[in-house]
């Protein structure tokens, strides 16, 4: 199954990171956003990170421009027609995803693979609205996608084995460390990490610890690369609360439910890095 051209649908944090990985791997990539303005903004962010890599000697001189030249932008799903694999990183809402999959399936060829980057929704349910659910698979990247090595390759109920292995092989081609797993709520990492982060937020109030000390505790006492509050700020309170609610709905475990403190932060727009304030404050 040759994968020569990729489509990435949704160029938010995750989609832009995935598109960056694809062009860095030398693959022609079509990025689709709801408007060309948003697509251009994402391309600007990708250009910034690629340029930093050149400055830091992680990419050869001119490597950033060569990679960016492989990225074309569109606001029209029909422009994904020639893609062998489309990775969807759209808004985490079942109805939104399902509508998109109907459109995607109509746009691409019969042999194309449709991969969803969903973190908390059922891949099987997303695929259920398509005529060819065997062509649908999960490819779950982690934030920040260009830096985090893991990709969970998710086998949905009807995923064809060759499609599954092609998605796995493509993740390896991107330089990732993929794993194979079934389509269960939260797959592997979020099934564990979401209740753990929720516990961290509950401990904040219970133990009367400061945010700074909570981060210090988990970095220096548990070896985390960054503290839980800093990680939640990176992921975004909106994304975390949404995923947490989706998992709670399916598993009904109290620890899966988002803690009230996080829900309030979400409602107040204290989303973390993206809004300039979360548990910590961010300049610029
Ligand atoms: N492309 C390339 N470089 C990027 C980048 C991108 N998209 N985004 C950030 N960077 C660069 C930055 O430019 C920065 O470099 P400069 O400051 O030199 O410009 C560098 O990466 C990051 O610098 P740091 O000093 O912060 O790097 P670090 O060594 O501390 O590592 C980290 C950062 C990899 C994020 C590390 O802290 C880490 O592993 N944190 C844990 C992250 C994690 O757990 N993620 C999972 C979230 S959960 C999830 O994603 C699941 C879900 O479904 C919601």
According to the model, what pLDDT value does residue 284 have? 72
In the set 152, 242, 244, 266, the catalytic residue is 152
Q: What is the C-alpha separation between 213 and 257, in angstroms, rounded?
A: 24
Give 138 Cα–ligand 1 centroid separation in angstroms. 22
Q: Region 251-263: what's the mean pLDDT?
A: 97
Query: Look-up: residue for tokens 């990176």?
Result: 234
Q: Partners of 73 in the beta sheet?
A: 31
3-state secondary structure 146-191: CCCCEEEEEECCCCCHHHHHHHHHHHHHCCCEEEEEECCCCCCHHH
pTM score: 0.96
Q: Which residue out of 17, 20, 52 has the highest number of ligand 1 atoms within 8 Å of its CB and is therefore the one to mutate? A: 52
pLDDT in tens, 120-177: 999 999 999 999 999 999 999 999 999 999 999 999 999 999 999 999 999 999 999 9
Q: What is the C-alpha separation between 150 and 152, in angstroms, rounded?
A: 7
According to the model, what pLDDT value does residue 232 have? 98
Chain Cα centroid distance, residue 172: 17
Say whether 244 is catalytic: no
pLDDT in tens, 83-121: 999 999 999 999 999 999 999 999 999 999 999 999 999
Q: What is the C-alpha separation between 279 and 166, in angstroms, rounded?
A: 40
Query: Which SS3 state, helix, strand or coil, does residue 27 take?
Result: coil
In the set 117, 122, 190, 244, the catalytic residue is 190
Q: Region 252-259: what's the mean pLDDT?
A: 97
178 near 142, Cβ under 8 Å? no
265 near 237, Cβ under 8 Å? yes
According to the model, what pLDDT value does residue 89 have? 98
Atom 29 of ligand 1, residue of closest alpha carbon: 225
Ligand 1: atom nearest CA of 193 is: 48
Q: What is the DSSP string of 198-255?
A: HHHHHHHHHTT--HHHHHHHHHHHH--SS-HHHHHHHH-HHHHHHHHHHHHHHH--GG
Helix (H) or strand (E) holding 113: strand 113-116
Sign of torsion over alpha carbons 181, 178, 83, 160: negative
Q: What is the C-alpha separation between 240 and 271, in angstroms, rounded?
A: 10
Give 164 Cα–ligand 1 centroid separation in angstroms. 27
According to the model, what pLDDT value does residue 280 have? 98
* Mean pLDDT of all residues belonging to the chain: 97
- Burial code of 58-76, b = ≥16 C-beta within 10 A, e = fewer? ebeeeebeebbebbebbee
The answer on pLDDT for 1 being more than 90 is no
Give 26 Cα–ligand 1 centroid separation in angstroms. 22
pLDDT in tens, 18-76: 999 999 999 999 999 999 999 999 999 999 999 999 999 999 999 999 999 999 999 99
In the set 119, 122, 198, 244, the catalytic residue is 119
According to the model, what pLDDT value does residue 283 have? 87
Q: What is the C-alpha separation between 90 and 79, in angstroms, rounded?
A: 17
CA trace torsion 114, 118, 124, 127 (10° rounding): -40
The confidence band for 8, taking pLDDT boundaries of 50, 70 and 90, is very high
Phi (first) and psi of residue 123, to 5 degrees: -65, -35
């Amino acid at each position: 199954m040759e994968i020569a051209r990729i489509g990435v649908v949704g160029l938010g944090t995750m989609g832009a990171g995935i598109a960056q990985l694809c062009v860095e791997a030398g693959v022609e990539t079509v990025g689709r956003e709801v408007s060309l303005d948003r697509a251009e903004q994402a391309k600007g962010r990708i250009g910034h990170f690629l340029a930093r890599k050149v400055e830091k000697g992680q990419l050869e001189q001119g490597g950033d421009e060569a990679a960016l030249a492989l990225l074309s932008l569109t606001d029209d799903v029909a422009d994904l027609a020639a893609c062998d694999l489309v990775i969807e990183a759209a808004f985490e809402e079942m109805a939104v995803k399902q509508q998109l999959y109907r459109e995607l399936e109509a746009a691409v060829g019969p042999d194309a693979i449709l991969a969803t980057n969903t973190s908390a929704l059922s891949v099987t349910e997303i695929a259920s609205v398509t005529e060819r659910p065997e062509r649908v698979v999960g490819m779950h990247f982690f934030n920040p996608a260009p830096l985090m090595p893991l990709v969970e390759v998710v086998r949905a109920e009807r995923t064809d084995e060759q499609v599954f292995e092609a998605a796995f092989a493509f993740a390896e081609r991107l330089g990732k460390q993929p794993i194979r797993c079934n389509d269960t709520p939260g797959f592997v990492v979020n099934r564990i990490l979401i209740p753990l982060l929720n516990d961290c937020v509950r401990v904040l109030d219970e133990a009367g610890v400061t945010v700074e000390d909570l981060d210090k505790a988990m970095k220096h006492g548990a070896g985390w690369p960054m503290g839980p509050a800093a990680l939640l700020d990176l992921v975004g309170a909106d994304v975390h609360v949404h995923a947490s609610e989706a998992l709670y709905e399916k598993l009904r475990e109290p620890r899966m439910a988002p803690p009230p403190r996080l829900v309030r932060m979400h409602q107040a727009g204290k989303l973390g890095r993206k809004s300039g304030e979360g548990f910590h404050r961010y300049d610029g």
